[in-house]
Amino acid sequence: MRVYREEDASLEHLQGKPIAVIGYGNQGRAQALNLRDSGLDVIIGNREDEYRERAVADGFAVWPIAEAAERADIVMLLIPDEVMPGVLEGQIVPGLDEGNVLVFASGYGVAFGKATVPPHVDVVLLAPRMIGAGVRDKYVEGGGFPSFIAVHQDRTGQAKAIVLALAKGIGSTRFGVVEVTFAQEAELDLYTEQCFGPAFGQVLTTSVDLLVEQGYPPEAVLLELYMSGELSYTMAKIAEMGLVEQSQLHSTTSQYGSMSRGMRFILPELRQRMQQGLDDIRSGRFAEEWEAEQAAGCPTLQMLRESARTLPLYRLEHQLRHTLRGEPIPPELLESAEAPSAAIAPEAQAAAEATSARGSSAVARGGLFSGLVSTLRGLLAPGPAAAPTGSLSRQQLERVLRRFCQLVADDPALQAFSQGRSFTSHYVLGDVGLDFFMRFGDGVVQSALGVPVPPAEVRLETSAEVLDGMLSGRLNAMRAAMSGKLQFKGEAKVAMSQQQVQNDLVRLYSQARNEVLGP
Ligand code: NAI
């Protein structure tokens, strides 16, 4: 285990070497100011935008990117990863001389072959484990923050000494610097974003869903779990003292309870999923998928963002935040999180309207809160209107689905959706022993009862009642998945794309239901 500190780095290696910081955003500004305050010769390369004005206002000499790269010996790339390969190739590489140093702040481009570096320069990585604002604040306070460094190409034989000196210049060796490879930095970063973070998010949303459903006050649930800030305080203590040692800060009841029950959550499937996520990253599959997504204008990202905003939790958080500040809840936050609006229980709707009608004048906190509470209970708990009206017999459901499949296959909107796609969704209704599928392929839609051959890319397992609720528009699929009522297997991106035609599926299912069972 090796951690580089102040005594392992010398600013001597940077003397007489102008440094161009390309980009003056989160990291660019913080690193440039720190390097200048460490006595180094820093210029900025930036396109014509508001970041350029900020650099000028901070007293830097600012040049167009290509000119800054040409003037400097050390070029630090601090622009967004998505635009970096193009800027590098078009504006920076032409200005690099023999023995110059190219510094990345993320290993992604090089690790996944998206950024091409010329052979005649040093290529190093200096990646702070700290957001830009923290990089500057810690430096000014006299403290430090960790960074990862790496050497990808050592043309001069000095690459490591130079990157360590830069780490010292930005204030990182005051805390400690760890050497990795470009690939390790990129993969660890993506793993945290794609496995650790989402798994943690699921723990949180599942807990909220479960506890509210069991009748605990939503505002108490959110405060207990994370909105009090206690969790972030505990995380800071874990970073400072370690996971095991920090447990001393909690009561003995807490220590006994959490340690004795911890075993229940050792789930082999969790590890398997994390391994899958890591495999996706290391094989480059994620990088390819993300590149294609960007080339297409990020339609899936857009859809995922919209879906996230339909989660009851999204509204719940906003409502609680307004309430804690003693502010009235904006009316748009009191609308149903589900579509159509039948998802809010009638009494919750009434409470929502009453709360909203009280307007922005000095409303007693208690009044706001009680309105909030019943609204949120209506949003999250299975209120009367949210309860499945279902109770279809197996025979009825089979007839409805048979008609639904015919309508799906003939629907022009679904045929248009099917253009340029090729996937099958297989629905498995275990409780009634029914299967049906929808196959979308190049403008043609096939849909029928039964198991698809070949096997589908997406498999959704649920109950007859939940399916009926989802296809009638009463239940939100994300919420059903969150509460374990809908299990999904297969390609997430493909499954999410089907959300685009969710309204059409609801329309066709309602038509089939009306035709078969009457209005
Ligand atoms: P940012 O989004 O703050 O970058 C803004 C800068 O990029 C501005 O100067 C803007 O003029 C320039 N820019 C944007 N689009 C451009 C284009 N098409 N052509 C030329 N210049 C353009 O970037 P941020 O967040 O500072 O990230 C920079 C690098 O630092 C990335 O490699 C990132 O992965 C890495 N990093 C970021 C961290 C963070 O806290 N944000 C933490 C650690 C590493």
Lowest mean pLDDT among 43-57, 205-219, 363-377, 424-438: 363-377
Please determine, for residue 355, whether its predicted confidence score (pLDDT) is greater than 60: no
Give the count of beta carbons closer than 10 Å to the beta carbon of residue 215: 8
Residue 489 confidence (pLDDT): 82
Please determine, for residue 367, whether its predicted confidence score (pLDDT) is greater than 70: no
Full DSSP string of 428-491: EETTTTEEEEEEEETTEEEEEES--SSPPSEEEEE-HHHHHHHHTTSS-HHHHHHTTSSEEEE-
Q: What are phi and psi of 324, to 5 degrees?
A: -65, -30
Which residue has its alpha carbon closest to ligand 1 atom 36? 105
Residue 11 confidence (pLDDT): 98
Residue to substitute in 60, 79, 131 for testing ligand 1 pocket (most ligand atoms within 8 angstroms of CB): 79
Range 324-351 average pLDDT: 53
Decide if 151 contacts 163 (C-beta within 8 A).
Answer: yes
Residue 310 confidence (pLDDT): 75
> Collapsing DSSP states into helix, strand and coil, what is residue 276?
helix
Mean pLDDT of the chain: 87
Give residue 105 CA to ligand 1 midpoint distance, Å. Answer: 9
- Name the CA dihedral angle for 440, 446, 452, 454, rounded to a multiple of 10 degrees: -60
Residue 167 confidence (pLDDT): 98
The minimum-distance atom of ligand 1 relative to the CA of 22 is 9
Range 78-105 average pLDDT: 96
Give residue 6 CA to ligand 1 midpoint distance, Å. Answer: 27
Range 440-446 average pLDDT: 93
Q: In the beta sheet, which residues pair with residue 147?
A: 128, 177
Decide if 369 contacts 219 (C-beta within 8 A).
Answer: yes
Residue 370 confidence (pLDDT): 40
- Res. 494 pLDDT band, cuts 50 70 90: confident
Tell me the pLDDT tens digit for each residue of 315-334: 888 888 888 888 888 877 77
Question: Does residue 454 have a cis bond before it (omega within 30 degrees)?
Answer: yes
Please determine, for residue 206, whether its predicted confidence score (pLDDT) is greater than 60: yes
Residue to substitute in 21, 33, 78, 187 for testing ligand 1 pocket (most ligand atoms within 8 angstroms of CB): 78
Give the count of beta carbons closer than 10 Å to the beta carbon of residue 94: 11
Q: 133 CB less than 6 Å from ligand 1? A: no
Q: 423 CB less than 6 Å from ligand 1? A: no
Tell me the pLDDT tens digit for each residue of 60-76: 999 999 999 999 999 99
Q: 51 CB less than 6 Å from ligand 1? A: yes
Lowest mean pLDDT among 10-19, 170-179, 361-370: 361-370
Tell me the pLDDT tens digit for each residue of 212-229: 989 999 999 999 999 999
- Res. 266 pLDDT band, cuts 50 70 90: confident
Q: In the beta sheet, which residues pair with residue 75?
A: 20, 102
Give residue 108 CA to ligand 1 midpoint distance, Å. Answer: 13
Which residue has its alpha carbon closest to ligand 1 atom 29? 78
Residue to substitute in 22, 24, 26 for testing ligand 1 pocket (most ligand atoms within 8 angstroms of CB): 26
Please determine, for residue 376, whether its predicted confidence score (pLDDT) is greater than 70: no
Q: Number of H helices and number of E strands within the chain?
A: 24, 13
Using alpha carbons, select from 321, 247, 474, 269 the residue that is nearest to residue 383: 474
Please determine, for residue 344, whether its predicted confidence score (pLDDT) is greater than 90: no
First to last CA, the chain: 70
Please determine, for residue 22, whether its predicted confidence score (pLDDT) is greater than 90: yes
Residue 335 confidence (pLDDT): 54
Q: 289 CB less than 6 Å from ligand 1? A: no
Range 155-180 average pLDDT: 98
Residue 416 confidence (pLDDT): 94
